[in-house]
Amino acid sequence: MHKILSFLFVLTGITGLAQSSAGLALIPLPKEVIRKEGIFTIDPNTQIRVADGAQVLQPVADYLAAYLYRAAGLELQVSGEGSKTNEIEFSLDAAISGAEAYRLEVGPERIRIRAKAGAGAFYAVQTLLQLLQGEREGDTPRPIEVPAVQITDAPRFEYRGMHLDVARHFFPVSFIKRYIDLLAMHKFNRFHWHLTEDQGWRIEIKKYPRLQEVAAWRKETLIGHYSDQPHQFDGKRYGGYYTQDEVREVVRYAAERFITVVPEIELPGHSLAALSAYPELACTAGPFEAATKWGIFEDVFCPKEETFTFLENVLTEVIELFPSEYIHIGGDECPKTRWESCAHCQALIKKEGLKDEHELQSYFIRRIERFINSKGRQIIGWDEILEGGLAPNATVMSWRGIKGGIAAAKEGHKVIMTPTSHCYLDYYQSDAEGEPLAIGGFLPLEKVYNYEPIPDELTAEEARFILGAQGNVWTEYMPTEAQVEYMAFPRALAIAELTWTPREQKNYADFTARLVRHFDRLDAKNLNYSRALFQVKAETRPAAPGSAAVVFSSLDPKAEIRYTTDGSAPGPGSPLYTAPVSLSAPTLLKSAAFQGASRKSSVLSLQFEPHLVTGKPVVLADPPSPNYSLGGPQALVNGFIGSDTRYGDSEWLGWAGKDMEALIDLGARVPVSQVQTRFFNGPGQWIYLPRAMEVAVSNDGKKFKPAGKFTNFPEQSRDKTFAAAVSFKKNTKVRYLRVTVRRHGIIAPGKQGAGHEAWLFVDEVRVK
């Protein structure tokens, strides 16, 4: 018995080592890593040898040589012959399955890289570079040690993407190359370049010079957040564009790194900048100007022949510049208001026998698809292209959740997953104080990491249509390169791993252990990544009635967590956290991680306001969306108040298309005078205030009596949150409370998210 157990233990131990990171800081985690004895030393005499397949392998070998020269001053000879010891050997192996797969063997005598194609060899090199110990760009020549290892690797998904919006803010070619280098380092193979928007047109089109002269520029830019009122502007002309030479340079640079650049030309919506240059392409006469603030604009391309001619000419130049199989044509967020009152649009609807403006959008997309297909390319569109019927060959980028992706896959269309809930890297990544202004939301690293691109709703057959996933970086609130880096990293690395690593091998704790060491590599590149990982984490637990306990933790084993309960910022002299902090009175609890006298994280604040039902049992008729239920049902009554700006934290619960009904058991009949709660208001994220909050009371939990109702919700509000209360008659004694919140329902035309169910977000239900 004992023998069998220990035998099993040994087996599991070996498998565990083989399948996990084996103590190496590799991101994304390869399929199989086996650590071996010894090291290989790259020194000035090491030779890089391309044994065969020089045509495809030579450029990769040269890339490695160039890196080693830059990073360690080592000028290695690259040749077809050699001594077969002290060498890095590249060879083709037709037996390896898949162009992106590879084998990398590091032994004391040599390093061997085997692949079927250049891509696999390139990924082997990226893995090798992550094995190098302690090189720094610009160092003087010196040997580099590589631990002995045997790695067999291949990606899980064929589409592994990162996006960048260069329209809301513009970034020079030097930064685009840096971004591409960072993607290549983590084995991404697609760069989705979002080139056109309401706020600016960023690609030179020779046939239409006014796109450069006019559409590439906006008069000024919004200061602060869109929801800050009144709007203020900086008064500075802003813009820029990439010349076709620059575009070719970027495409070539990316191709050398096995990254395909997928250009996006937005149509029919998000096209205001183009209309500012060519107003005749709109439904109304104009004049138009490029948008100076964010959002959705009603002036869009009018589906007239002139517009199709323009777009086909634009796309002809785009297709010549970009070898990508896929051309992204946008298709998202196109208001139909202008089309509804445009004589041409209405006549076209009649003539084509279309049902409505959604079908007119599909007509628009289908015509563009036909054109792009005629050039041997395929379209990708945001999931709105499903609405009036999909174009026959379209690939869908599912962003408004995963429903669009599921529907498209079930129709046999290819899908790329980019749901806002897990892939929008413009959302906040930390709930700490002092985060730079972001669009909203809350998407911590762990939530990105745990995203699974294949929805449970799909059969194995349908799941094959999910090509992969992508992180999106919209730059409304990222005016600088440093800020793009901050928002994109390290969350992009979670996207890298979830698209590359086999699902069974993903493990967040292992990922973060590797990441903490990988940060040294990112430091060597002076990358401005977020340190939110080192943030103190707080978990709240119910304690005695009316009180709570807070458990703090940090991923950093060296961190000392210190906290205060008087609202002051924690310092090196503040109490050291050693055991759960008990709270029973209103408290502003602040915490941060320290190492000696220096603070290593930003400050985390938790506001505790106990009330009559704090910690009492609560049952929800419908669970919140799994994407917005971090704190579980108890979050409604745990005494902790949600963030004023971030609805996705563990205190807010979110529902889509459902009312909230919460049943709270007070344990005994007690006098109650008021029920109060707070709702989030974020039209940009389709979060709208509810219609009504109803409170009913009961003594047996079965028969309920209405006790009051609040319906005075504003139709529009500039505030991010709205508090509503229901007050009771004096001396109402209650055992059970039922709080029902009637959702907003379908969003009205003309509003953000029109036609869709609004989200409902509810904070603490406070009872007095």
* Residues near Zn ion (CB under 5 A), total: 5
Report the partner that residue 311 touches, choosing among Zn ion, ligand ACM, none (CB closer than 5 to 8 A by kind): none
Size of the chain in residues: 768
Whichever of 21 and 362 has its CB closer to ligand ACM, that residue is 362
Rounded Cα distance between 520 and 190, Å, is: 25
Phi first, then psi, for residue 175 (nearest 5°) are: -75, -40
In the region spanning residues 644 to 673, those forming contacts with Zn ion, defined by CB under 5 A, are none
Residue partners of 234: CB distance under 8 A and separation at least 6: 220, 221, 222, 223
Q: Which does 382 bind (CB under 5 to 8 A by kind): Zn ion, ligand ACM, none?
A: ligand ACM
CB 330 within 8 A of CB 267: yes
In the complex, least distance from residue 684 CB atom to ligand ACM, rounded to whole angstroms: 10
Q: Nearest distance from residue 293's CB to Zn ion, in Å?
A: 24
Contact status: 344 vs Zn ion (CB under 5 A): yes
SS3 16: helix
Our CB check for ligand ACM shows the closer of 24 and 487 to be 487
345 binds, among Zn ion, ligand ACM, none (CB under 5 to 8 A by kind): Zn ion
Closest of 634, 620, 615 to residue 739, by C-alpha: 620
- Residues in contact with ligand ACM by CB under 6 A are 332-333, 382, 399
> Rounded to the nearest whole angstrom, what is the least distance from the CB of residue 177 to Zn ion in the complex?
40
Q: How far is the CB of 372 from Zn ion (least distance, A)?
A: 22
473: left (phi over 0), alpha (psi -120 to 50) or beta: beta
Three-state SS for 717? coil
| Residue 337 token pair | 């208001």
Q: How far is the CB of 383 from Zn ion (least distance, A)?
A: 24
* Residue 341 in tokens: 């009152």
From ligand ACM, Zn ion, none, which one binds at residue 291 (CB under 5 to 8 Å depending on kind)? none
**In angstroms, what is the C-alpha Rg of the chain?**
28
Q: How far is the CB of 229 from ligand ACM (least distance, A)?
A: 23
Residue pair 754/739 in contact (Cβ under 8 Å)? The answer is: no
3-state secondary structure of 465: coil
How far is it, in rounded angstroms, from Cα 511 to Cα 492?
13
Q: Give the nearest distance from C-beta 194 to ligand ACM in angstroms.
A: 9
What is the rounded distance in angstroms from the CA atom of residue 444 to the CA atom of residue 446? 6
Residue whose C-alpha is closest to residue 308's, from 368, 351, 363: 368
Give the one entry of ligand ACM, Zn ion, none that residue 283 binds, where binding means its C-beta sits below a cut-off of 5 to 8 angstroms depending on kind: Zn ion
What distance in Å separates the CA atoms of residue 741 and residue 675, rounded to the nearest whole number?
Answer: 12
Residues 6+ apart with CB under 8 A from 574: 562, 563, 564
- Residue 400 CA to residue 387 CA, distance in Å, equals 13
Beta strands at 217-218 and 581-583: parallel, antiparallel or unpaired: unpaired
Nearer to ligand ACM, 430 or 472 (CB): 472
The reply on whether position 768 binds Zn ion by CB under 5 A is: no
The 3-state DSSP class for residue 691 equals coil
Residue span binding Zn ion (CB under 5 A) among the ranges 297-305, 526-534, 570-578, 630-638: 297-305
333 binds, among ligand ACM, Zn ion, none (CB under 5 to 8 A by kind): ligand ACM
Structure tokens at 755: 């036609």
Closest separation in Å from C-beta 163 to ligand ACM: 9
Backbone angles phi, psi at 287, to 5 degrees: -70, 160
Closer residue to ligand ACM (CB): 82 or 441: 441
Residue whose structure tokens are 């084509």? 352
Q: Which does 371 bind (CB under 5 to 8 A by kind): Zn ion, ligand ACM, none?
A: none
Q: How far is the CB of 296 from ligand ACM (least distance, A)?
A: 8
DSSP alpha helix (H) spans, 38-106: 54-72
In the complex, least distance from residue 570 CB atom to ligand ACM, rounded to whole angstroms: 37
Q: Does 345 bind Zn ion (CB under 5 A)?
A: yes
Kindly identify the residues of this chain, within the stretch 253-292, that bind Zn ion according to CB under 5 A.
Answer: 283
Does 342 participate in binding Zn ion (rule CB under 5 A)? Answer: yes
Q: Which CB atom, from 399 or from 647, has the smaller least distance to ligand ACM?
A: 399
Structure tokens at 100: 């992106």
Distance CA 249, CA 193 (A): 14
Cα separation, 176 vs 246, in Å, equals 10
Among 57, 96, 185, 302, binds Zn ion (CB under 5 A): 302
Which is closer to ligand ACM, CB of 383 or CB of 556? 383
Q: Which CB sits closer to Zn ion, 287 or 376?
A: 287
The CA dihedral of 414, 419, 425, 427, to the nearest 10 degrees, is 160
Q: How far apart are CA 469 and CA 621, in angstroms?
A: 33
**Nearer to ligand ACM (CB atom), residue 399 or residue 594:** 399
- Is the CB of 49 or the CB of 194 nearer to ligand ACM? 194
Phi, psi of 16 (to 5 degrees): -55, -45
Beta carbon of residue 179, minimum distance to ligand ACM (angstroms, whole number): 19
Token pair recorded at residue 510: 């292992």
Helix (H, G, I), strand (E, B) or coil at 478: coil
| Residue 344 binding partner per list ligand ACM, Zn ion, none, with a CB distance cut-off of 5 to 8 Å that depends on partner kind | Zn ion
Interface stretch with Zn ion, choices 202-210, 337-345, 436-444, 722-730 (CB under 5 A)? 337-345
462 binds, among ligand ACM, Zn ion, none (CB under 5 to 8 A by kind): none
Please say which residue, 198 or 333, places its beta carbon nearer to ligand ACM. Answer: 333
Query: At how many degrees (to 10) do helices 173-185 and 118-131 cross?
Result: 80
Type of residue found at 180: I
* Residue 302 binds which of Zn ion, ligand ACM, none (CB < 5-8 A, kind-dependent): Zn ion
- Please say which residue, 332 or 435, places its beta carbon nearer to ligand ACM: 332
Residue 171 has, within 13 A of its CA and on its CB side, a CA count of: 27
Which residue, 401 or 570, is less far from ligand ACM as judged by CB?
401
- Residue 180: contacted member of ligand ACM, Zn ion, none (CB under 5 to 8 Å, by partner type): none
DSSP state at residue 532: G
Q: In whole angstroms, what is the distance from residue 92 CA to residue 65 CA?
A: 19
- Which residue lies nearer to ligand ACM by CB, 381 or 570? 381
Return the one option of ligand ACM, Zn ion, none that residue 399 interacts with (CB less than 5 to 8 A, by type): ligand ACM
Point out the residue whose Cβ comes nearest to ligand ACM: 332
Our CB check for ligand ACM shows the closer of 380 and 653 to be 380
Closest to ligand ACM by CB, 362 vs 535, is 362
Between 225 and 738, name the residue whose CB sits nearer to ligand ACM.
Answer: 225
Shortest Cβ 197–ligand ACM spacing (Å): 10
User: How far apart are CB 377 and ligand ACM at their closest, in Å?
Assistant: 21
Among residues 588, 635, 649, 670, which one has the least CA distance to residue 766? 635
- The span from the CA of 62 to the CA of 50, in Å, is 10
Residue 342 interacts, among Zn ion, ligand ACM, none and using kind-specific CB cut-offs from 5 to 8 Å, with Zn ion
The one of Zn ion, ligand ACM, none whose footprint includes residue 735, by CB under 5 to 8 A per kind, is: none
Does 334 sit near Zn ion (CB under 5 A)?
no
Asked if 314 interacts with Zn ion (CB under 5 A), we say: no
Q: Are strands 144-153 and 159-165 parallel, antiparallel or unpaired?
A: unpaired
Query: Quick one: which of 457, 489, 465, 487 has its CA closest to 474?
Result: 487
User: Minimal distance in Å, beta carbon 55 to ligand ACM?
Assistant: 39
Minimum distance of ligand ACM from residue 630's CB (angstroms): 23
Interface residues toward Zn ion, by CB under 5 A: 283, 302, 342, 344-345
